[in-house]
Amino acid sequence: MRHDATVTRPATAPPTWQQCRVAAESLRATEYGRTAVDTARGRAPFGFHRGRSPLTMMLYAAGLNGRLVWHSPHCFAVLDPPADERTFVSGGPRAQRMTRMDAWWDRAVHYGPVVLIFFVLAPVVGIAVPRQYHPVAVGVLAILVTVYLGAGVIPLLARYLRAFFRSFEGRTTVQEEFTSNLLGRHWSVLLCHVRDPRYAEPLLAETLGRVAVLDTRLPRAEDDDSLLLCREAAITSAAGRHGVAAADNTTRLPGRRDGMFVVHEPGRYRTPDPVVAKPPAGSTLLLLATPLLPLLMAQPVAEAEAAACAETSCDGRPDSFREALWWLVGRALLFGDLGDTAPVTTTANFFGFLGTLVGVAWIALVVSASVRYTRYRRQAIAAGLETYEATMTEAARAAFGGVFVNYRRGSHNVAVASIRRELGARFGVDKVFFDIASMLAGTRYPDELRSGLRDARVLVAVIHATWEADLRPNTPNLDWVQYEIEVALSTGKVVIPVLLDGAELPRWEDLPAPIRDLVRRQARRLRWDSFDDDLHALVVEVERAAKRSG
């Protein structure tokens, strides 16, 4: 794949609409482009449409607002502010209009047809339709509006029910909740479009610098430090995902399976603290206060009915406080009159209508409070899990003897770096021997290599497609790749062959005698189309092997 040489050159001005259109087409053409767009735009709370504006408009608005880090149509990143600052604006009047249009897109799309019916279609119908058919026309328009709004409420109720029932599920649900909580508090990369892994690190470095500038314009407390997060789902290409994973300025959150990276300056990683939202006290108060409203309305109803029937019989009418209260409760819960009780005064009927509205509001509050308490419970569990995982990770690092990464440099360096970073995130960088990262300048590398081999319990032998052909058993210079495997096998260490995509274990007779036992060791494969899952399985296998060898 060829790339423009100017792809790493930051732009000095926001891109034009046409450039954003080209960028949108380039993004959709990548392997995970449509998945990234679906994640970025999401579904609106009401209706079946997207919650954010179309991709071209989103890129254009982000460029005007300073949230677009632009190198070229094939290399850019879109920033998303914390949830409470989604209407954040940094720019002139045009930037303000575009930002508000992006933030309010779901409401505009949902309520736009209703406004069109009332203010455009209704007057046209009133002029074009004969007067005697006006009631029918109004009824048809009312049915259209009701059906449209009702269709929008159905997915909202479905999401509420799904969130309620999923609260009883296990670990996956609480990790998703914790992820949502983190993205709501910190800056995040909404889209990261990079088609060459070499450009991932400089793009993220500039993105981090942009956040440092934009974050100063947000109304934050002095001790509220913001991080920059990047979900793997926001990265549009497989090459870009591997580039982000291998970059020195990103760290995958340990113990997580949802692909969450923290973008930081090299060597300055800070784990985000678990944050739990405050319990929804407002909904609780409203939920408790709503049933008290019939108590306030019962006395006016009783007085109105008693005054109306002062000279006639009051049978079947709520003329006392107890009967009025009972009647209002029936209107609130059953949306109808209880028994034969039926008021006749306008005042009583008005309060009865309010009682029906109180019932509807109370049911809505019950659903809302249930969902919000469920959400709070899930966040609390998620925060506890994160704290527990951090503790267990530190314990695992302390008990872990070490792992030695054996490899030969070549075009597969990105995959090797990903292995090293994933092992380091799990067990600690000091527990993973990786030659160029573990040896200080000026040290004798033969001594350092032998020391690393002596301290390690597990050796991970990375085997690429031409690994066998690259061996040098008959040359006067020592082949360190072969030597490291030979020492590990002869000293009884656990040796795990890792086959990169397209590589196979050599045959017994084709290997030098000292390392022929390598082919008898159970290998693990890292495939390009399932690299992250295979890499996670490898880390688990290394940990198990280290425990067995200890």
Please name the helix (run of DSSP H) or strand (run of DSSP E) that holds residue 191, with its range, or none: strand 187-194
Res 392: pLDDT: 46
For residues 504-531, b (16+ Cβ closer than 10 Å) or e, as one string? ebbeeeebeeebeebeebebbbbeeeeb
Please name the helix (run of DSSP H) or strand (run of DSSP E) that holds residue 65, with its range, or none: helix 55-65
**pLDDT of 47 over the 60 cut:** no
Res 191: pLDDT: 93
Q: What angle do CA 406, 412, 415 make, to 5 degrees?
A: 75
Q: Which of 156-160, 195-199, 235-239, 298-302 has the lowest mean pLDDT?
A: 156-160
Question: Strand 187-194 to strand 75-80: parallel, antiparallel, or no bridges (unpaired)?
Answer: antiparallel
Confidence grade of residue 6 (pLDDT, cut at 50, 70, 90): very low
Residue 202 tokens, joined: 């400089």
Res 186: pLDDT: 81
Number of Cβ within 10 Å of residue 340's Cβ equals 8
Say what the pTM is.
0.53
Candidates 77, 65, 149; CA nearest to 112 is: 149
Confidence grade of residue 284 (pLDDT, cut at 50, 70, 90): low
The answer to whether 456 and 433 are in contact (CB under 8 A) is yes
**pLDDT of 153 over the 70 cut:** no
CA atoms within 13 A on the CB side of 36: 29
How far is 542 from 21, CA to CA, in rounded Å? 46
Residue 276 tokens, joined: 């739990």
Confidence grade of residue 1 (pLDDT, cut at 50, 70, 90): very low
Number of Cβ within 10 Å of residue 32's Cβ equals 18
Confidence grade of residue 502 (pLDDT, cut at 50, 70, 90): confident
Strands ordered across the beta sheet of 403-406: 432-433, 403-406, 458-463, 494-500, 524-526
- Mean pLDDT value across the chain: 76
**pLDDT of 8 over the 50 cut:** no
Q: pLDDT, tens digit, for every residue of 509-529?
A: 888 888 999 999 989 999 888
E strand intervals along 331-476: 403-406, 432-433, 458-463
**pLDDT of 3 over the 60 cut:** no
Looking at residue 10, the DSSP 8-state letter turns out to be: -
Cross-strand partners of 256: none
Candidates 395, 396, 404; CA nearest to 494 is: 404
Res 24: pLDDT: 93
How far is 361 from 287, CA to CA, in rounded Å? 9
Rounded percentage of the chain residues whose pLDDT exceeds 70: 70
Q: Token pair 């390598």 is at which residue?
A: 518
Please name the helix (run of DSSP H) or strand (run of DSSP E) that holds residue 260, with its range, or none: strand 260-263
| Rg (the chain; Cα; Å) | 32
Candidates 19, 123, 27; CA nearest to 63 is: 19
How far is 153 from 163, CA to CA, in rounded Å? 15
Q: pLDDT, tens digit, for every residue of 205-245?
A: 999 888 888 877 766 544 455 678 888 889 999 889 888 88
CA atoms within 13 A on the CB side of 433: 23
How far is 331 from 293, CA to CA, in rounded Å? 12
Q: Token pair 């990169």 is at which residue?
A: 500
How far is 135 from 143, CA to CA, in rounded Å? 12
Candidates 537, 528, 23; CA nearest to 238 is: 528
**pLDDT of 417 over the 70 cut:** yes
Q: pLDDT, tens digit, for every residue of 464-488?
A: 988 988 887 766 678 888 999 999 9
Q: Which amino acid is at 122?
A: A
**181, 215, 224, 364 from 221: Cα distances, Å:** 18, 11, 5, 34
Per DSSP, the three-state class of 169 is coil
Candidates 241, 197, 192; CA nearest to 68 is: 192
Domains and CATH numbers, the chain: 5-106+173-263 (3.40.630), 282-368 (1.10.287), 400-549 (3.40.50.10140)
* Dihedral sign computed on CA atoms, order 38, 211, 202, 256: negative
The answer to whether 260 and 251 are in contact (CB under 8 A) is no
Per DSSP, the three-state class of 532 is helix
Higher per-residue pLDDT: 246 or 440? 246
Q: Which of 18-27, 107-116, 404-413, 517-526 has the lowest mean pLDDT?
A: 107-116
The answer to whether 423 and 405 are in contact (CB under 8 A) is yes
Question: Strand 403-406 to strand 458-463: parallel, antiparallel, or no bridges (unpaired)?
Answer: parallel
Q: Which amino acid is at 259?
A: G
DSSP letters, 403-442, are EEEE---STTHHHHHHHHHHHHHHH-GGGEE-HHHHSPTT
Mean pLDDT within 435-454 = 79
The answer to whether 512 and 482 are in contact (CB under 8 A) is yes
Q: Which amino acid is at 328?
A: L
**pLDDT of 448 over the 90 cut:** no
